[in-house]
Amino acid sequence: MTGHPDGTNAPASAAPGAPSFDGGESPAPGAAYLAADGFLEPLLEELADSTATVHGRLVITRAPPRPAAWSINTWLQPRRIAIASIKDGARSLRAIQRNWAVYEHGHHRRAKLIQEQLPHVSAKPLVFPAPAPTAPLGAWTLLDEGTILASPVCSSAFANGEVAFVEDKATPPNRAYLKLWEALTLAGRLPGPGDRCLDLGACPGGWTWVLQSLGADVTAIDKAPLDPRIASLPRVTVRRESAFGLDPATIGPVDWLCSDVICYPERLLRLVHQWKDGGHARNFICTLKFQGETDHASARAFAAIPGSRLLHLSHNKHELTWIYLAPETSAN
């Protein structure tokens, strides 16, 4: 089940034997899921819906929306709109709501012309730690020249789920810091002064730098050395040991446990349970890194932890990010 890798303007493809949404009368889709570039297959495996149709990186289903970690933007209320012209398409979208972002796959010029007639939506990169936008942002695409698929409600406040930042290209030792910036932005909660943070698999220090820059005290754990510029920062303590041999009692309670360590997801799951079930850490941001085949079973186990979120960030590669935030307590 694939889209059109050649970029042609052909209609969306369907699974063998499945009806297509393109052309004629058909039931309205129940949801649509957008995969990040290069990660359509893990999304299709996760959804496991033989009746889904594929439009580029967009997987359209007739079933109601459900959590899908490999979807960077889930279209929660998609509807098909027949249009007679470019002007008609823009008018139809404006009649629903103000803010729209286009996902282009085929019919690029026609899609651009429709989008140009819609109100401008600022796409300036965020300056971290600025909060995520709160204005509703719908998503739409052209299934064919006369059919728009549009959803006024989506899971992401960012166009096509892509979070862009004004990058610091001088200080961090690598670009992994962008994953933590994105995870914290989507979490809507930040470590700060007085918080104790644990960075597992810290080398070369990108995540430690983020946490320290927010004012937190950071203990960085890795057998390999950190970049000396990061290791020498105030409020940073470095311990040259394995994240998996670490005794929580030697660290004490932490407010944030962050892990970008390279390991099999099932091993990370055991570590997370050790720290969470034992009450040693309150908030978690962890990267599940897949080596070879995607370990969907481990991903489901992480997603099943109550109160947590499992996401494919726009800065993730073949990996997912797990976020757990402890319930906030009243200040009374």
State which amino acid sits at residue 256. Answer: W
In the chain, the percentage of residues whose pLDDT exceeds 70 is 91
In the chain, how many H helices and how many E strands? 8, 16
Instruction: Provide the pLDDT for residue 330.
Output: 53
The model's pLDDT over 95-148, given as tens digits with 9 standing for 90+, comes to: 999 999 999 999 999 999 999 999 998 888 999 999 999 988 999 999 999 999
Q: How many CB atoms lie within 10 A of CB 282?
A: 18
pTM (2 decimals)?
0.90
Rounded Cα–Cα distance for residues 63 and 76 (Å): 11
Rounded Cα–Cα distance for residues 63 and 26 (Å): 14
What CA–CA distances, in Å, run from 241 to 129, 140, 204, 228? 30, 49, 14, 17
What CA–CA distances, in Å, run from 300 to 6, 121, 145, 183, 318? 33, 35, 38, 19, 16
Name all contacts of 266-275 with Cβ < 8 Å and 24+ positions apart. 266/295, 266/298, 266/301, 269/298, 269/301, 269/302, 271/200, 271/243, 271/244, 272/302, 272/305, 272/322, 274/248, 275/248
Residues near 253 by beta carbon (within 8 Å), at least 6 away in sequence: 196, 279, 280, 281, 282
User: Exposure of 269 by Cβ count < 10 A (0-12 exposed, 13-18 middle, 19+ buried)?
Assistant: buried
User: Among 47-56, 80-89, 202-211, 322-331, whose mean pLDDT is lowest?
Assistant: 322-331
Instruction: Provide the pLDDT for residue 226.
Output: 97
Residues with catalytic function: 289
